[in-house]
Each structure stands twice: as C-alpha cells, then as structure tokens.
Amino acid sequence: MKLKKANAALGLLSILILLIHAGYQVVAYIMFLYDPMVTKVLAWAAVAVISMHAVLGMSIMAFAHDGGSVAAYPGMNRRTILQRASAIGIMVMLVLHIKAYDILRSGTPGLIAAELIQLLFFSCIFIHIGTSFSNAFVTLGILGDMDKKKKIDRAIWVICAVLWAVTVFVVGKTYIALAAMH
C-alpha cells in the first residue's frame, strides 16, 4: 500500500507541475514571450516526476499484481481503461510533443501534424487527470465519501475540459502564427 500511496502522491505532484508548465506556456503564447530556460526547467521537472510516477505505476501493476483484469468487465472498468490508455498515450505522444515545434517548421503538412500532435497529447493529459485526480485522494486516505468523489470527479472533468479547450485553442492559434512566420 505504501507504493500505491507514493504513486498517488507522485501523480498529484505531476498534475501540479503539468498545470504550471501548461499555464506558463499558454501565457507565454498569448503574450508571445518565450523564455526557453523557464520552459525547459518546467518541462524537465514534469518529465522527471511523470517518469517516476509511470515507472512506479507500471511496477505496481507488474510486480505487485495490482493491475487487475479490466477486460473482464469493460462497462464497470471504463474509467480504468481510459486511465491506462491515456497514460500510454502520454508516453507515446511525449516525444512528438517535444518535437512539435520542429515538425511545425516543415511547412503546411508540418503545421497540420504539429497541431494534431498537440491535440492528441493534451487530450491524453487531461483525460488522465480527469480519471486519476480523485482516485489519488482515495488512495491517500484523504477521500472516503464516494458521493463527494463523484462530485469532485464531475468538477474535475469540467475543469479539464475548459483547460483542454483553452490550451488547444491558444497553442493552435500560436502555431498558425508561427507557421506564417516561416
């Protein structure tokens, strides 16, 4: 149980760092100001914490046999399936997310590819947050009331949807402006 609690804490820390990183980038894109050092420090902090969270999560599933069979009851396990699929999506899309600006500079097909990469990456991030946030508090023993958990889940999904829309819109608009400069 200690490993699950540690992973829940890492998950919450990941969310915090990701929101700071995404928030900074959105503000930087809106103001058209870019400080590569701030971006890189926030990005590498996010990668470090997320990597620890991912490795610990996979270790728990593989070695502690806490993965469960989500395929047995897909209707009941939709949330878990979404959580795991979005985690895989984050890992797959991370490299492309990092390279999105370079891809953007390769012309119109690059702009379309970069926009798609960011859309998919942010979708995976916010789906994972939406499916994981309240679970972390349950695992940590902070949240035990399932009615409160459902209310928190609804609020988090609304917040994630709004943040996703803002992020996709601002990054998309900025990428179009950057592509027009090249």
- Residues 82, 88, 89, 91: what is their CA dihedral angle, to the nearest 10 degrees? 150
Q: What share of the chain is helix, strand, coil (3-state, %, to 5)?
A: 85, 0, 15
Q: Rounded mean pLDDT of 119-126?
A: 97
pLDDT for the residue numbered 71: 60
Task: Decide if pLDDT at 111 tops 80.
Answer: yes
* Terminal CA-CA length for the chain: 52
- Residues 71, 72, 74, 75: what is their CA dihedral angle, to the nearest 10 degrees? -170
Render pLDDT for 58-85 as a digit per residue (tens, 0 to 9): 999 888 766 566 566 566 688 999 999 9
Q: Could you tell me the pTM of the whole model? A: 0.91
Q: Rounded mean pLDDT of 51-56?
A: 96
